[in-house]
Amino acid sequence: MIGSDGLPGDSHPHPRLWGTFPRVLGRYVRERKVIDLETAIHKMTGLTAKVFGLQGRGVLAPGNHADVVVFDPATVIDRADYDNPIARPDGIEHVIIGGQLRVQI
Protein backbone atom coordinates (compact mmCIF):
# COMPACT_ATOMS: atom_id res chain seq x y z
CA MET A 1 0.00 0.00 0.00
CA ILE A 2 0.97 3.60 -0.46
CA GLY A 3 -0.33 6.11 2.06
CA SER A 4 0.54 8.80 4.58
CA ASP A 5 0.44 9.01 8.34
CA GLY A 6 0.20 12.81 8.19
CA LEU A 7 -2.50 14.23 10.46
CA PRO A 8 -4.92 16.68 8.79
CA GLY A 9 -5.83 18.41 12.07
CA ASP A 10 -2.35 19.82 12.67
CA SER A 11 -1.96 23.56 12.11
CA HIS A 12 1.47 22.93 10.54
CA PRO A 13 1.31 19.33 9.26
CA HIS A 14 4.16 17.25 7.95
CA PRO A 15 4.62 17.86 4.19
CA ARG A 16 3.79 14.24 3.42
CA LEU A 17 0.14 14.93 4.35
CA TRP A 18 -0.31 16.88 1.10
CA GLY A 19 2.64 15.47 -0.81
CA THR A 20 2.70 11.68 -0.53
CA PHE A 21 0.60 10.73 -3.55
CA PRO A 22 1.87 13.35 -6.03
CA ARG A 23 5.43 12.57 -4.93
CA VAL A 24 4.99 8.90 -5.70
CA LEU A 25 3.44 9.67 -9.09
CA GLY A 26 5.97 12.33 -10.06
CA ARG A 27 9.21 11.19 -8.54
CA TYR A 28 8.97 7.41 -8.24
CA VAL A 29 6.75 6.63 -11.24
CA ARG A 30 7.71 9.26 -13.81
CA GLU A 31 11.23 10.35 -12.89
CA ARG A 32 12.90 7.36 -11.27
CA LYS A 33 10.73 4.62 -12.81
CA VAL A 34 10.80 2.63 -9.56
CA ILE A 35 7.17 1.55 -10.01
CA ASP A 36 4.82 1.66 -12.99
CA LEU A 37 1.79 3.95 -13.02
CA GLU A 38 -0.84 1.22 -12.88
CA THR A 39 0.77 -0.50 -9.90
CA ALA A 40 1.20 2.78 -8.02
CA ILE A 41 -2.44 3.73 -8.55
CA HIS A 42 -3.60 0.27 -7.45
CA LYS A 43 -1.50 0.52 -4.27
CA MET A 44 -3.05 3.95 -3.56
CA THR A 45 -6.64 2.92 -4.28
CA GLY A 46 -7.89 -0.63 -4.76
CA LEU A 47 -5.38 -2.35 -2.51
CA THR A 48 -5.87 0.19 0.26
CA ALA A 49 -9.67 -0.07 0.06
CA LYS A 50 -9.45 -3.87 0.18
CA VAL A 51 -7.10 -3.94 3.18
CA PHE A 52 -9.31 -1.53 5.15
CA GLY A 53 -12.57 -3.18 4.06
CA LEU A 54 -13.92 -0.09 2.28
CA GLN A 55 -16.75 -1.55 0.20
CA GLY A 56 -17.49 0.29 -3.04
CA ARG A 57 -14.28 2.31 -2.95
CA GLY A 58 -10.87 2.03 -4.55
CA VAL A 59 -12.04 0.67 -7.91
CA LEU A 60 -14.04 2.37 -10.65
CA ALA A 61 -16.97 0.03 -11.27
CA PRO A 62 -20.74 0.28 -11.68
CA GLY A 63 -22.36 0.87 -8.29
CA ASN A 64 -19.17 2.08 -6.61
CA HIS A 65 -18.75 5.55 -5.11
CA ALA A 66 -16.90 7.15 -8.06
CA ASP A 67 -13.93 8.60 -6.18
CA VAL A 68 -11.60 9.97 -8.88
CA VAL A 69 -8.52 12.16 -9.05
CA VAL A 70 -7.85 13.59 -12.50
CA PHE A 71 -4.15 14.28 -12.96
CA ASP A 72 -1.58 14.75 -15.69
CA PRO A 73 1.07 12.02 -15.41
CA ALA A 74 3.54 14.26 -17.26
CA THR A 75 3.37 17.09 -14.70
CA VAL A 76 2.09 15.76 -11.37
CA ILE A 77 4.55 16.47 -8.53
CA ASP A 78 4.41 17.46 -4.88
CA ARG A 79 5.25 21.02 -3.80
CA ALA A 80 4.77 20.69 -0.04
CA ASP A 81 7.85 21.28 2.10
CA TYR A 82 8.55 22.18 5.73
CA ASP A 83 8.12 25.91 5.07
CA ASN A 84 4.82 25.45 3.23
CA PRO A 85 3.49 21.99 4.14
CA ILE A 86 0.06 22.57 2.58
CA ALA A 87 1.30 23.68 -0.85
CA ARG A 88 -0.93 22.19 -3.52
CA PRO A 89 0.73 19.78 -5.90
CA ASP A 90 1.16 20.50 -9.59
CA GLY A 91 -0.63 18.39 -12.18
CA ILE A 92 -3.81 17.54 -10.27
CA GLU A 93 -6.81 19.04 -12.04
CA HIS A 94 -9.92 17.64 -10.34
CA VAL A 95 -10.89 15.63 -7.26
CA ILE A 96 -14.25 13.86 -7.41
CA ILE A 97 -15.61 12.14 -4.30
CA GLY A 98 -18.73 10.04 -4.49
CA GLY A 99 -19.38 11.37 -7.97
CA GLN A 100 -19.32 15.01 -6.80
CA LEU A 101 -16.66 17.49 -7.93
CA ARG A 102 -14.87 18.62 -4.76
CA VAL A 103 -11.73 20.32 -6.08
CA GLN A 104 -11.14 21.95 -9.44
CA ILE A 105 -7.73 23.50 -9.98
Q: Domain boundaries in the chain? A: 16-104
Using an 8 Å Cβ cutoff, are 86 and 15 in contact? no
Q: How many CA atoms lie within 13 A of 101 on its CB side?
A: 6
Q: How confident is the model at residue 105 (pLDDT cuts 50, 70, 90)?
A: confident
Q: Which of 30, 19, 16 is nearest to 78 (CA)?
A: 19
pLDDT for 6 equals: 86
pLDDT in tens, 12-41: 999 999 999 999 999 999 999 999 999 999
- Mean pLDDT (the chain, rounded): 96
pLDDT for 45 equals: 98
Entry pTM = 0.91
Report the pLDDT averaged over residues 90-94.
97
Q: Which of 82, 97, 95, 99 is nearest to 21 (CA)?
A: 95
Report the pLDDT averaged over residues 80-99.
96
Report the pLDDT averaged over residues 43-52.
98
